[in-house]
Amino acid sequence: MIATEMEGGSMNRRELAKKIDHTLLGPIASAEGVRTLCAEAVEHGVATVCVNPCHVALAASLLMDQPIPVCAVIGFPHGMMTAQAKACEAADAIALGASELDMVVNIGALRDGNHAAVEADIRAVCDAARAAGPTVYVKVILETGFLSDEEKEAGARLAKKAGAHYVKTSTGFGPHGATVEDVALLRRVVGQEMGVKAAGGIRDAETALAMIEAGADRIGASRTAAILAGVPE
């Protein structure tokens, strides 16, 4: 069970940092960028660093002596790979040092109402995580900007049924990022047994705290320093 915390504006800088997955996922992300990302992660004391699979080994080596896990994205950013391909990518990322996986759901299958395929897709990645041990977390990115409320609810229920640990709003590359309304919807559907991660377009403390107030217990962000600057030490 994921512990959830819904405190809002009273959060200090250290507490907020512990909820942020500090992220570098763009198509021109470089090794030097990953080194900067990891140095910033240590400086701020974030929850994780989130990188593309090709950068997992580097991030893991840079954070070897730090209590900051490496999160890898899987099936990113469109989610339209086969379930087997995602499972292989997940296993590879874990072997390279990832202990959290942010997988993109098969968005087309979810929109088609093919719930069996969506569940199998998520379960394949969850099975790869379970094979590595109980401490590898799976977050399911629904890319809510493409979905109706009914599809968002269905995706969250399927993620829960398949054994994922979190549901996540967005990749940051879809039609829009996280909204307070979507975070609240996902929290209502999954209850307290799963985490909710808000990501996409979160650039300041006010927005981050609004997401937490709505039910998010992780924030995905690349502008971590700017977010943290907006709360007291």
Domain 13-228 - what CATH class?
alpha beta
Question: Annotated catalytic residue: which of 19, 168, 182, 217?
Answer: 168
pLDDT at position 10 is 77
Q: Does position 1 have pLDDT exceeding 70, yes or no?
A: no
Say if residues 105 and 79 touch (Cβ distance below 8 Å). Answer: yes
pLDDT at position 18 is 98
Question: Annotated catalytic residue: which of 19, 152, 160, 197?
Answer: 197
Query: Residue 133 — very low, low, confident or very high, per pLDDT cuts 50/70/90?
Result: confident
Query: Residue 54 — very low, low, confident or very high, per pLDDT cuts 50/70/90?
Result: very high
Based on the residue annotation, tell me whether 197 is a catalytic residue of this protein: yes
Cβ contacts of residue 103 below 8 Å, gap of 6+? Answer: 73, 74, 75, 79, 86, 90, 122, 125, 138, 139, 140, 141
Based on the residue annotation, tell me whether 168 is a catalytic residue of this protein: yes
Question: Annotated catalytic residue: which of 102, 121, 182, 217?
Answer: 102
Query: Residue 28 — very low, low, confident or very high, per pLDDT cuts 50/70/90?
Result: very high
Query: Residue 45 — very low, low, confident or very high, per pLDDT cuts 50/70/90?
Result: very high
- 9 vs 79: CA distance, rounded Å: 34
Distance, first Cα to last Cα, the chain: 30
Cβ contacts of residue 87 below 8 Å, gap of 6+? Answer: 124, 125, 127, 128
What residues does 198 pair with on adjacent strands?
Answer: 219
Rounded to the nearest integer, the mean pLDDT of the chain is 95
**Interval 140-178: pLDDT, tens:** 999 999 999 999 999 999 999 999 999 999 999 999 999
DSSP string of the chain?
--------TT--HHHHHTTEEEEE--TT--HHHHHHHHHHHHHHT-SEEEE-GGGHHHHHHHTTTSS--EEEEESTTT--S-HHHHHHHHHHHHHHT--EEEEEP-HHHHHHT-HHHHHHHHHHHHHHHHHH-TT-EEEEE--GGG--HHHHHHHHHHHHHHT-SEEE---SSSS----HHHHHHHHHHHTTSSEEEEESS--SHHHHHHHHHHT-SEEEES-HHHHHTTS--
pLDDT at position 156 is 98
Q: Position 36: which residue type?
A: T
- Tell me the whole-structure pTM to 2 decimals: 0.95
Residues of the chain above pLDDT 90, percent: 94
Q: Does position 9 have pLDDT exceeding 60, yes or no?
A: no
pLDDT at position 119 is 98
Backbone angles phi, psi at 166, to 5 degrees: -140, 155
Based on the residue annotation, tell me whether 161 is a catalytic residue of this protein: no
Q: Does position 8 have pLDDT exceeding 50, yes or no?
A: no
pLDDT at position 7 is 45
**Interval 169-194: pLDDT, tens:** 999 999 999 999 999 999 999 999 99
Q: Position 207: which residue type?
A: T
Say how far residue 85 (Cα) sits from the centre of its chain. 19
pLDDT at position 224 is 98
Q: Position 200: which residue type?
A: G
pLDDT at position 6 is 40
**Interval 62-97: pLDDT, tens:** 999 999 999 999 999 999 999 999 999 999 999 999
Point out the least confidently predicted range of 10-14, 122-126, 186-190.
Answer: 10-14
pLDDT at position 139 is 98
